Chains A and B, each alone.
Chain A
Amino acid sequence: MSNQILKVEGLEKFYGKFHALKGVDMEVNAGEIFGLLGPNGAGKTTMLRMLVGLISPSNGSVTYFGNLQLNELGKVLPRIGCIIEEPKFYPYLSGLTNLKVARSYFPNKIPDQRVHEMIELVGLKGRENDRVSTYSQGMRQRLGIAQAMLNNPDLIFLDEPTNGLDPKGIIELRQLIIRLKEEFGKTVIISSHILSEIEEMADSMAIINKGVCVSQGSVAELLAKNTVTVSVETDDQDAAQTALAALNYTAKKDQQTLVFQSELDEIPRIVEKLMSTGRKIYRLDHKRKLEDYFLKLTAA
């Protein structure tokens, strides 16, 4: 049985003559964090806006929860939560009243208890009666997640959720998003242009560039295809550099470490070669670099 919660086929959007989305296909499985990665202006927000019914597609189809279509938003939206661009609230109302306004749009009454639970979940307890105008960006972002979670949705869309947050806020929000998946079993679709964000949180991802989906798959698979950055620490950098040159690698010295690019499969051969020099190897590690892959796909 398919675990698919969202299927996008041939989604297109024209703004006059401008072709903003050029037939995007995408599949998202239930219970995963899905990253929608792309440079600014790639079409990520346009796509999310279409998926939540704010703008209508020029062509293409979307299937939600296995059987619901875009023209059935009345059935889709009760099962969706979202933050599109930065979360916006009525600044002259309190956080609590803002959530009560949001809940009024749902056909089934969302009890007060649920509203307070969500306030607690996002760490705004004690500030819920303060006007939103007094909230920091991070608090607004968290209130945004509370409103997105009010209806206990199956699918959550978060558009650039860490935009404008300080490092502490980013870490807290990432932890919260991971909690949504792991503790509450939610499917979360995050759009971002920040590679590390997707790399750290997402299970699967799609890369969109200039309105085209240029790559899609699990983050692990996509990274496995990728060149890795290898760091080696030995007692003789020159000898190690020579050994690597014999394997056609150009390693650069970075203080006590040699750094070079390699394919993941090549690492055992590299280790063997370095060991054969008879020098001491204190450390060898590699980092999968999504950045390289992303730049390769989105270049020009």
Chain B
Amino acid sequence: MIRILQAEIIKAFARPRSYIGLASIVALVVLIDTSFYFTGKEYIDLLFQSFDQVFSLEGNIINGNLITFIILQTLIIQLPLLVALVTGDLISGESALGTLRYALTKPISRFKFITYKWITAMLYVLAILILLGVFAYLLSLVIFGLGDLLVLNADGLVVIRSAELFWRFMAAFVFAFISLTTVASLSLMFSAFSDNSIGPIVLTMVVIIVFTVISSFEMSFFDPVMPLLFTNHMHLWRRLFSDPIPMTEIMQSAGVLLLHSAVFFGITQYHFNRKDIFQ
């Protein structure tokens, strides 16, 4: 098992495109940290302008926790694209390259083959999130130091004590992992249906965009499908920074996302096990 996984990781991570996502995360984190270092105060003043008449804010508002939260909030929207860029290519890329037929003439069952591809996709998601988490959190803490986090929610302004933030960030990353697992499973499913590299990546993005657009229409016509759109559940990580945390709602959303992943994985297996390999 380890040998196959090693081979899959070598294949996936030896491609330059695998590093586009990782490199862009590093670049964006550095860019955001730098911009906050020089012009962060202006931005925060603008953000909390409406509260000036109600109360005054004292202490270290621009701190590592706030910057990490902002980075997370900003980049989490781009991550599905970065994930799909690699995971959407895992099967179809092999098909386009012609290497799929070689792998499948070796004594590995198609079920195992897809399972290893799926595990590789998860490892890539994990790599992206660890890089984002570790890099964004550590760099921001080093530059801006610790402090309480001010979060503007629909309910208002929430202040979360510094001591409580580490586990909340960890939980947010776990939730982001579950969300991106769904995206990775979706693109892997499209990848199993396709023989070219671009199709699954584009399709994944189209699905995410369409679902997000539908979600933004607050019309009763879409009400029946709203709970089924996985994109509606992906932003629930933000609720981990509420007070109190709506754990039931978060767990339900995590469950819906995991269910989507399982369905996408099942469809991938079903289709791929019956697929004639021509490429």
Contact = CB atoms under 8 A, between A and B. Distances in A.
A49 B6 CA distance: 27
A86 to B, nearest CB: 8
A63 B99 CA distance: 26
B277 A55 contact: yes
A107 interface: yes
Contact of A54 (B3, B4, B105, B108): B105
Interface in A142-200: 147
Contacts of A102: 102, 106
B5 to A, nearest CB: 9
Contacts of B274: 56
Contacts of B103: 105
Interface stretch (B10-18, B49-57, B79-87, B117-125): B10-18
A94 to B, nearest CB: 10
B106 A106 contact: yes
A52 interface: yes
A43 to B, nearest CB: 14
Contacts of B3: 103-104, 109
A97 interface: yes
A107 B107 contact: yes
A259 B16 CA distance: 62
A92 B105 CA distance: 21
Contacts of B97: 88, 90-91
A77 B106 contact: yes
A93 B10 contact: yes
Contacts of B266: none
Given A104-B3, A106-B106, A88 B277 contact: no
Contacts of B153: none
B107 A92 contact: no
Given A74-B109, A97-B10, A104-B3, A88 B102 contact: yes
A101 interface: yes
A109 B1 CA distance: 11
A159 B131 CA distance: 45
B107 A101 contact: no
Given A90-B11, A100-B7, A80 B105 contact: yes
Contacts of B14: 90, 92-93
B130 interface: no
A88 B101 contact: yes
A24 to B, nearest CB: 17
Nearest to A54: B277
A131 B101 CA distance: 20
B276 A101 contact: no
A80 B107 CA distance: 9
B107 A55 contact: no
Nearest to B16: A92
A78 interface: yes
Interface residues of A, number: 33
With most chain B CB atoms within 10 A of its CB, the pick from A54, A56, A78, A89 is: A54
Interface in B1-60: 3-4, 6-7, 10-11, 14-16
Nearest to B108: A105
Contacts of A85: 98, 101
A123 interface: no
B278 interface: yes
A223 interface: no
Contacts of B278: 49, 54-55
Interface string A81-120: 0101111111111000100111111110100000000000
B104 interface: yes
A228 B276 CA distance: 43
A53 interface: yes
B277 A92 contact: no
Contacts of A82: 105
Given A74-B109, A97-B10, A101-B7, A147 B102 contact: yes
Contacts of B7: 100-101, 104-105
Contacts of B106: 77, 102, 105-106
With most chain B CB atoms within 10 A of its CB, the pick from A55, A92, A104 is: A104
With most chain A CB atoms within 10 A of its CB, the pick from B11, B102, B278 is: B102
A54 B15 contact: no
B110 to A, nearest CB: 9
Given A53-B105, A54-B277, A84-B102, 17 more contacts: A53-B104, A74-B109, A78-B107, A89-B99, A89-B102, A90-B97, A91-B97, A92-B15, A93-B11, A101-B7, A101-B11, A104-B7, A105-B4, A105-B7, A105-B103, A105-B106, A147-B102
17 contacts: A54-B277, A54-B278, A55-B276, A56-B274, A73-B107, A84-B105, A88-B102, A91-B97, A92-B16, A93-B14, A100-B7, A101-B11, A102-B102, A104-B6, A105-B103, A105-B106, A107-B107
Interface of B: 3-4, 6-7, 10-11, 14-16, 97-99, 101-109, 274, 276-278
Interface of A: 49, 52-56, 73-74, 77-78, 80, 82, 84-93, 97, 100-107, 109, 147
Q: Which 4 A-B pairs have the closest CB atoms?
A: A88-B98, A105-B106, A104-B7, A55-B276
